Structure 1
Amino acid sequence: MTGPRDLSPRDAWKRYVDRRRTELTDGSADSYHYRLKLFGAWCEDRGIETVSELNGWLLDEYRAHRAGEGIASTTLHNEMETLRGLVEYLENIGAVEDGLSKKVDVPRVPEDEQSRETKLATDDALEILRFHRSNDETYGSLFHAFLEVAWHTGARLGALRGLDLRDFDRDVGYVEFVHRPETGTPLKNKRKGERMVKLLPEVVDVVDAYIAGDRRSNHDEHGRQPLFTSTRGRPGRNTVRVWSYRATMPCVFGPCPHGHDPDDCEFRSHTHASKCPSSRAPHHIRTGAITWHQDRGIPKEVTAERVNASQRVIDRHYDVATKLEEMELRRGPHMDKLSLD
């Protein structure tokens, strides 16, 4: 009869991910699967047959191996942090020696790499929104309504994709994000991610116009009515990304900054939208939106509730200021104090 110490690395990491699936969103579980699959393959290449063979030296060898492949420091951090979780699990079931998890070196990410520097710039976002609001042809279009909601709520891709028609209240003026894993639209933070987010009247009007005009009256495979619909009902995650890329292209409101002719530019196609140097993914919209909330003086605790992120995470990752912006913040009301008069 075999015991936990006889587990192969492959069986161990699969068992661990299966145990965590009830706690993780599908996206997080997939990330764990990918990171640990790499570790399992490395163990097989090294001839490591059982997890009981693992020791501090081998774990350090794996860290050096991954670092030597030139991956980003944030990627290495996440991979080693996930590996530490696996080793802690193996400790708990008696598959490896106690204390082995403390020998997993999770590298610190340099502070200057912790912020998401790529974002949808405030000036670009506002210019696109003003263009749509003043343009009869595009007012209330899918791309317009999507960008208005994404920018004003700072919501994640999955949350935007999961919105139903019933989650939009035009009378009170809000959208409600609801965790519905049983029908394919979980929120990243599950029930803790549920919230109502107030919308400005002008944003409500845009969403109203979209529902009355551009929105397809489709249902998804579970019989739900998505707020933002595709030809097949609820859009897939990749479709939402493409909407984001196309909605943020600068040629929407002006000439192409890269010298392309919009009429024959391949970036404007569904399959190449992500290649436009100036287009932005949903997470970049979220980053820009959170920074905009901060710049507009919205209290940090209010922003945190609207976008479903802790104040600490907002400070570290999302409040991205340029060096010029930082100088202006430092200068602020204090420069007069340095006057010789």
Structure 2
Amino acid sequence: MLKETTPAEAKDRYLREKRTHVSQKTLHNYTAALNAFADWLVNNGYLDMRDVDSNVIEQYKDYRLQKVKPITARNDLWTIKGFIQACERYQAVSLGTYDLVQPPQVRPEDEICDDVLTREEAQAILEHLEKFEYASLRHVIVLILWKTGMRIGGLRALDVGDFDGDRPALEVRHRPEQGTPLKRRLNSERDVLLTDSASDVILDYLDTSRPSVTDDYGRKPLIATDHGRAARTTITRHVYGSTRPCFYSNSCPFDDKPDPENCEATSWNMASKCPGSVSPHALRRGYVTAARNAGQPKEITSERVNMSGKILEKHYDKGTHDEKAERRKEFLKDI
């Protein structure tokens, strides 16, 4: 017999269960998707999960497809499908509802994001930072993300003690009980070697710029602000700000150039509004592409950035057809 359960009650129970074994980023994504679904249910008069059937979910799917990109709608519906499966276990919806949830199909090209920072852009940004903001927090953030292809969660998880200046290397470790889980948990743990020049910047940052702070667990975060371990939003804003063309080239390449005095994208909170700025993930894609173009084997690149070769090829390697042909050139034999 089904039990009376509000969308909010079912959602909260499901998220409590997920909180024990998924990363913070995954939990955030689940929360956003289910908040939107629960709000839509209530706003459309579905106040009890017993009223939710496949027809209701199809209505929501149509609604969502009108509001977001197909890939986002698909990801949301996969989250909802898992949620509905749990609701069957809670006796909140009828058995079999899960099997009737059909996330939308998307074209292969819709699955791929082309947002990428090029090697030339990264070099220009790092040259600007080395000249004007040497060994600053922003400099270290961009430097590590570009030189290692690291995820933002991995960067944020680093402690001062995880930097080995002798090798030199960064030791990425999974510490979920202390607020810094890694995306693939223990499978994400690895040591990432650095060049001597990158190591020198980090050493100077530790000597001159890093505030003497600890986090809530008494650890010394490498990427730190006056308030402790830098938040994901802080890291993201530094990347958006530093990848604006006007920041590192002192010019705006866009046809509809705004008045610099009135351009909203020049502010700390609005840098993402610049059409030329990119997110931290674009540096990860850029690193993968640049490394492969430089001849670094796929297997080495995959291990360094902690992703499968299949994912690397499909979503991260943004080399052109010409660049990929050149990579194969030295291996070709005349037969």
| Contact 1:216 1:229 survives alignment (8 Å) | yes
1:198 aligns with 2:206: no
Q: 1:271 to 1:97 in 2, by over 3 A?
A: closer
Q: When the two structures are superposed, what TM-score results if normalisation uses the length of structure 1?
A: 0.86
Partner Cα separation in structure 1 for residue 262 and residue 160 of structure 2: 35
Amino acid at match of 1:156: R
Q: Name the CA distance, whole Å, in 1 between partners of 2:91 and 2:261.
A: 64
- Matched letter for residue 123 of structure 1: E
Aligned to 1:112: 109
Q: Which one of the candidate residues 222, 228, 232 is aligned to 1:233? A: 228
Deviations 1:166-209, CA, capped at 9 Å, x for gaps: 01000011101122223322222222222211111221122112
Q: Does 1:58 align with 2:56?
A: yes
- Answer yes or no: is the 8 Å Cα contact 2:188–2:306 preserved in 1: yes
Q: Measure the CA separation in 1 of the matches of 2:145 and 2:324.
A: 27
The 8 Å contact of residues 156 and 223 in structure 2, kept in 1 or not, is answered as: yes
AA at the equivalent of 1:107:
P
Aligned equivalent of 1:187, options 174, 182, 187: 182
**Residue identity in the other structure for 1:282:** P
Structure 1 partner of 2:298: 300
3-state DSSP of counterpart to 1:58? helix
Does residue 44 of structure 1 match 2:39? no
Equivalent position of 1:214 in the other structure: 209
**Superposition TM-score, scaled by structure 2 size:** 0.87
1:142 equivalent in alignment to 2:141: no
| Unpaired runs of at least 5, structure 1 | none
**2 CA distance for matches of 1:272 and 1:92?**
44
- Aligned match of 1:72 in 66, 69, 76? 69
Following TM superposition, by how much is the alpha carbon of 1:262 offset from its aligned partner in structure 2, in angstroms? Answer: 7.6
Higher mean C-alpha deviation, range 89-98 or range 141-150: 89-98
Structure 1 counterpart SS, 2:171 = strand
Q: 2:2 touches 2:94 (CA, 8 Å); kept in 1? A: no
Gaps of 5+ in 2: none
User: What code does the residue aligned with 1:22 have?
Assistant: T
SS at match of 2:275: coil
Q: What residue in structure 1 maps to residue 96 of structure 2?
A: 99
In structure 2, C-alpha distance between the alignment counterparts of 1:167 and 1:32, rounded to whole Å: 30
Contact 2:293 / 2:323 at 8 angstroms: preserved in 1? no
Q: Distance in 2 between matches of 1:39 and 1:229?
A: 36
SS at match of 1:6: coil
Q: CA RMSD, aligned part only?
A: 2.7
- Which of 116-125 and 286-295 deviates more? 286-295
Pair 1:163 & 2:161 matched: no
* Displacement of 1:329: 3.2
Q: One-letter code of the match for 1:224? A: R
Of 312, 315, 333, the residue aligned with 2:313 is: 315
Give the number of equivalent residue pairs: 328
In structure 2, the residue matched to 1:326 is: 321
| Partner amino acid, structure 2, of 1:228 | I
Aligned pair in 2 of structure 1 residues 216, 49: CA closer, same or farther (>3 Å)? Answer: closer
Q: Report how far residue 165 of structure 1 moved.
A: 0.6
Distance 2:160 2:2 in 1: 49
Contact 1:5 1:50 in 2 (8 A): no
Partner of 1:89, secondary structure, is helix
Does 2:146 match 1:151?
Answer: yes
Q: Does 1:123 align with 2:120?
A: yes
Report SS of the residue matched to 2:288: helix
